[in-house]
Amino acid sequence: MSRSLRRARAVIDANLVPRLEALAEAAVARFPEVSDPLVTKLASAKLVSAARLPADVITIGSDVTYRDEVIGRAQRVILAWPEHADISRGIVSILTPVGVALLGLSSGDRFRWTTRAGERRALTVLEVAPMSAEAPKT
């Protein structure tokens, strides 16, 4: 990987923060590999109202295409709340390492993340489409 990765500052809908914090708190004991990065991201993110969230920022319901720079493969997913996740349909939970990594990023952003297996990966966001009909907001 010859390109250097810039750590993008996440932009998050402020209305989602209470539920995201509750999820992070509930996951502390069972999934610290997700909970800790989510808490860190929330603490450093720029919080904006839903009306001011840029259309290309990844949020719950966004349809995202990203490239895994380590394996060189593009993947399309929809970011969802845990109860709506269905990996067989490409609907990824916010309570997964890649879900946390994607939250708040925009097209062109690059980010490093660690899989549940402990592998270091890097991703580049290629495209972000607004709320997908397949992933309910609630």
Q: How many domains does the chain divide into?
A: 1
Residue 62: inside a domain: yes
Query: pLDDT per residue over 26-83, tens digit each?
Result: 999 888 888 999 999 999 999 999 999 999 999 999 999 999 898 899 999 999 999 9
Residue 5: inside a domain: no
DSSP characters over 60-110: TT-EEEEEETTTTEEEEEEEE-GGG-BGGGTEEETTSHHHHHHTT-BTT-E
Give pLDDT, residue 52. 95
The model carries a pTM of: 0.85
CA distance 73 to 115: 15
Domain that holds residue 117: 11-129
CATH no. for residue 113?
Answer: 3.10.50.30
Residue 104, token pair as written in the block: 């708040």
Residue 119: inside a domain: yes
